[in-house]
Every structure is written in C-alpha cells, then in structure tokens.
Structure 1
Amino acid sequence: MPLLTIITITYNAERYLPRTLKSAEKALSKLADKTVVEYLIIDGGSKDNTLTIASQFDFIAKVISEPDRGLYDAMNKGLNLATGKYLWFLNAGDQVQDENILSQLISAFESNADVYYSDALLVREDGSEVGLRSKFTPHDLPKNLTWKDFALGMKVCHQSFIAKKEIAPQYDYTNLSADIDWEISCLKNSKKTQYLDFVLCRYLMGGLSIQNHRRSLLDRFNVLKKHFGLIPSLWNHGIIFWRGFWFARKNGKYW
C-alpha cells in the first residue's frame, strides 16, 4: 500500500496541468522508492488536451475521465479510488512547493499523525509569488491546530492539508465550501494533528469559491452553523466581515 495518494482534479485544464505534474515529477525524482506515492487524475470529461498531457507522465497510476457533478463529486471519486494511507489533494495549477517536499513528507509520516498541515505559498497565474497565506490573508496559522480554530473560516489551505484516508469523510458535493467542512470533520476525527515547518504547496489563486463568491459565503455559513451552532456562527460572521474589511483596508485586496 502506498503511503501517500496525490489526487489532482481536472477539467479542460491544459493551461494549468503541466506545472502541477512537472512539480510532482521533480519531487518524485528525489525518492529512492517511488512506489510510496500513488498519483491519480480525476477528470470531468475534458474536451481539450488535458488527457494528452497526463499521458506524457508515466508516474500517474490512474486517470479517470467522465462527467461529474462538480469539483467535490470528483474529489469523492479520487478519495474512493485512493489506496494510499494519506490523501493529498493538489489541483491543476497548484504545485508541490519544491523538489524536496515529498522526501520531507515521507519522513514526517514516521510520526503516524492523522493529519499533517502547513502554510501555502500563494502564486498568480504567471507564477509570480504573492506570499504565504498566513501573511497575505487574515488567517494566521496556529501550531496546534484543532477543529475549533475554524470558527472564523478556512484556517488551512486545502492543498496544504493532508489526512489519513481512514478518518476522511466524503465531501458534500452540493456545497461550495465543502473543503472547510471536510477539514473540520477530519480534525474532529484526528487523534494526532501535526504542524509541518515547511511549506507544502504553491497555491494558484482564484479557485471555484472565488468564482462563485456569493454562494460560497452562504455555503460557508451553513458549514459553520453545522459545526458551531446558529448564534455563534452569526456572531463569528460579523467578526469575519469586520476583520476582512480592516485587513483589506490596511493591506489591499487579498483574494
């Protein structure tokens, strides 16, 4: 059984997929035993050259291409197909931070934590760096993370959050903030959560929740209400908006 399954979701991603796969290829080249990592691509039935690009990388264990009900439905397919002990979702356009990350990560797995997490480096489409997520957004990154830290929203970038498959639930594919719900649920199930002092990924800004911002905010409220209750979530959303307003006023638009 592989130690780690990396899952990349694609749909007409020919523009972004090469940077993701090339970063993984470099990191895999540093591993003495490459079989400890399984790589899956779950595609939504692309009509461009996405599948042709994927076929050029021989480390990919499986490619599934078929219509789906959206991003989180595709992520559920990847989760169900994964045979690795740990799951890492790295979507088209995102990158393994550097060539040493997989080696460092495999070594970190010796502690047998249920969840590993780190900061993420935010990048623009042209590859230019914006900065660490914990510095560029109002979300600081605690060293002793618990699910209660999510009371004010997404505390950890989804691409820098790795969980054991055995504790990972299915995503609610109808909710655009299903990644927050998933991380909270993983942390509730986790008996040991470990902070990594190295950055796992380069995160391409401008994902699904940004493209559908209004609905994403409502879905986020429903997730937080589910875990924290109605009144605390109403209060916390007031804090979220006030904090975001002052952060943006001081630092400029951050998302």
Structure 2
Amino acid sequence: MKPVLSVITIVYNNSRDIERTLLSVLNQTYGAIEYIVVDGASNDGTLEIIKRYENRIAKLISEKDKGIYDAMNKGLALATGDYVIFMNSGDEFYANDTVAKVFATAPDADIYYGETEMVNDERESLGRRRHKAPAKFTWRSFKYGMSVSHQAIYIKRSLVEPYDPKYQLSADIDWIIRAAKKAKKIVKVDGYVAKYLVGGMSKAKHKQSLLERFDIMKRHYGLVPTLFNHAVIAFNLGWYWLRNRRTND
C-alpha cells in the first residue's frame, strides 16, 4: 500500500501564483495524494482560480482566519493522510515526480526531507537556500537556523501537533522541532524536492521573526546554548555577506 500524502496549500489574495502551486500538486505522478486548500476568504480572483480545479481537490475551505498558522492548523485538522506537507501559494514541488521519488527513497520513515531551490517572481532560479539541508537531520539541527524548509519536509501525521498560535512568523520552526523530537527514522532525499518563492519581509516583521526564533530555540535548546549559537549565526551571516559581496563586485 502506498502511503497517502496530505498536501495542504494556504492562500490569501494571491491570484498571481496560486495556479502554479495548484498545478504543481495536481500534476504529481504519485497517485495517493489528498489535496487540501485553505483560502482566507480571498477577494482578488484567487478563489475563482481554485474553483476551476475543485473536482480534483479533496477539501476546500474559504473563510477568514487569524493568520497563516491559524489557516495551517485548519488544514492539519482536515488532513487524513499518512504524511503531511505544506505547499503554500507560490511554492511548488520541484518536479512532477518529486513525491514519487521521496517515497521511493526508503520505506516507512517518520520524516523525509530534501533541498529547496529558491526562485524569484519571474520563476528564475536563485540557487539553493543559504542553509544547506544537513546530511543527518535531528531535532537539534535547527540550532544554527532553519536548515530544512517546510516545503521540503514530509512528516508522519501521527507525529505532528498544531502550530503554536503564540508565534506569528516562526511557528514552523517550533512545529518541525517538536515532530523531529518524536521521530525515530529520518531519511534525506537526494537533490531538490521543492521550489520556494522568495518574498520580501518588512524589517519590522524580520525583527519579530528573529525574536520569535530566539524564543523557540531557547525553549528547545536552552538559553546559554542559544546565545552561543546566535553568535555563530551572526558570524556565518557576516562571512556569507562578505564572500558574496566579493564575488558580486
């Protein structure tokens, strides 16, 4: 029996990108997919685009929500598959055979994960995320930053809990760490498994995101290790910026 994958897409007023995400899921060669779309009561034509494909979507809801993680929790509550993955509006599976490739890598893992390619608004490749996915992934792997993105991680549904609503921007880090703490078998899939649409986050939100990340890491890893790890993150960021500035000059 093939494991059933619940793919959840969250969207609000994104008529520009939603169809690309829908087709990325619906065109998968893997047959055992339960597709769930959670729309936040869009009024820009997004819902009309989704409804074109409604007969191929297992569950569709369109209603106001309290933010992205509230919407993601609604999707989780609807999921009945063996595994869950979030492919939010603008994001895509890397190729049409990605899901088949993931489950062919090894049987019955608690978590599968792979690499994410960044793309810009023109869908041009910006290469791999700055954080390389680790060769071995554990719940401790996020201590220097989020090395696996949520578009690239397939988690057994029995291991996942709802997103913590107290975090507005970084709850996915906490969510993945909590699931990884329970996981026994974690398998890396070779190569890219997802495309992530790079979006601008305002400076005010970026600061809030960093504060949330610090709080999450302090909770899971302890205060002193988190302070030390943030010093390492700051050094690595500075080095990355310097090196790239040199190559761009």
Query: TM exceeds 0.5?
Result: yes
Deviation at 1:173, TM superposition (A): 2.2
Deviation at 1:196, TM superposition (A): 0.5
Matches within 5 A, 1:34-49: 34=31, 36-49=32-45
Aligned to 2:188: 195
Deviation at 1:170, TM superposition (A): 1.1
Aligned to 1:182: 175
Q: 1:38 to 1:200 in 2, by over 3 A?
A: same
Aligned to 2:137: 145
- CA offsets per residue over residues 7-54 of structure 1, 9 Å max, x none? 000000111101111222222xx34xx3x1000001111111111111
Q: 1:179 to 1:188 in 2, by over 3 A?
A: same
- Alpha-carbon distance in structure 2 between the residues aligned to 1:211 and 1:89: 25
Aligned to 2:27: 26
Aligned to 1:4: 5
- Alpha-carbon distance in structure 2 between the residues aligned to 1:60 and 1:215: 35
**Aligned to 1:124, which of 106, 109, 120?**
120
The normalised TM-score by structure 2 is 0.92
2:198 matches 1:205? yes
- Alpha-carbon distance in structure 2 between the residues aligned to 1:209 and 1:72: 18
Q: Determine if contact 2:6/2:33 at 8 Å carries over to the other structure.
A: yes
Structure 2 unaligned spans of 5+:
none
Q: Determine if contact 1:209/1:216 at 8 Å carries over to the other structure.
A: no
Q: Determine if contact 2:174/2:216 at 8 Å carries over to the other structure.
A: yes
Q: 1:211 to 1:194 in 2, by over 3 A?
A: farther
Q: 1:85 to 1:127 in 2, by over 3 A?
A: same
Aligned to 2:68: 71
Q: Determine if contact 1:90/1:159 at 8 Å carries over to the other structure.
A: yes
Aligned to 2:102: 105
What is the identity percentage for the equivalent residue pairs of Structure 1 and Structure 2?
41
2:93 matches 1:96? yes
Q: 1:106 to 1:142 in 2, by over 3 A?
A: closer
- Alpha-carbon distance in structure 2 between the residues aligned to 1:106 and 1:59: 22
The normalised TM-score by structure 1 is 0.90
Aligned to 2:79: 82
SS at match of 1:111: coil
Q: Determine if contact 2:115/2:132 at 8 Å carries over to the other structure.
A: no
- Alpha-carbon distance in structure 1 between the residues aligned to 2:58 and 2:10: 14
- Alpha-carbon distance in structure 2 between the residues aligned to 1:17 and 1:248: 32
Q: Determine if contact 2:70/2:165 at 8 Å carries over to the other structure.
A: yes
Deviation at 1:208, TM superposition (A): 5.9
Aligned to 2:237: 244
Greater shift, 174-183 or 198-207, is seen at: 198-207
- CA offsets per residue over residues 46-78 of structure 1, 9 Å max, x none? 111111111111321111111111111111111
- Alpha-carbon distance in structure 2 between the residues aligned to 1:208 and 1:219: 15
Return the letter of the residue paired with 1:171: Y
Return the letter of the residue paired with 2:188: Y
**Aligned to 1:235, which of 202, 208, 228?**
228
Aligned to 1:56: 52
**Aligned to 2:155, which of 163, 167, 191?**
163
- Alpha-carbon distance in structure 1 between the residues aligned to 2:200 and 2:124: 17
**What is the count of residue pairs matched by the alignment?**
243
